[in-house]
Amino acid sequence: MAEQPKKEVVLNATIEEPLDLLRLSLEERVHVKMRTDRELRGKLRAFDQHLNMVLSEVEEIVTTRETDEDTFEEIYRQTKRTVPMLFVRGDSVILVSPPVRAS
């Protein structure tokens, strides 16, 4: 039998394990969803198996929720700040989404 390439081709690239998705996103802007209602957008410079990451030109968006005392309306506030270079500890990462890839 002819040898078949074992690698599954998805997204125009070889992805065998989930971390390959990040490997393909190196030096690209990614969106990171963190615990405690934080989101980061920045260029992925480096990462490891714990999802520790180094991001540059980062925009951090923090969403806070407040309840209006009179109307009990929930108010969401977003505060943004930018950081030139950031190390993120992996344990607070929930989701990483690479930029939309042209198919």
Partner 1 sequence: MSRRQNPSEFLKKIIGKPVVVKLNSGVDYRGILACLDGFMNIALEQTEEYSNGQLQNKYGDAFIRGNNVLYISTSTK
Spatial contact of 19 and 49, defined as CB atoms under 8 Å apart: yes
Among 3, 17, 69, 73, binds partner 1 (CB under 8 A): 17
Nearer to partner 1, 83 or 90 (CB): 90
Piece in contact with partner 1 (CB under 8 A), picked from 4-12, 54-62, 68-76, 79-87:
4-12
Indicate whether 100 belongs to the interface with partner 1 (CB under 8 A). Answer: yes
d(CA 24, CA 3): 26
Piece in contact with partner 1 (CB under 8 A), picked from 15-23, 58-66, 67-75, 76-84:
15-23
d(CA 87, CA 27): 15
Spatial contact of 25 and 45, defined as CB atoms under 8 Å apart: no
Contact footprint for partner 1 (CB under 8 A): 8, 10-11, 15-22, 31, 51, 90-91, 93-101
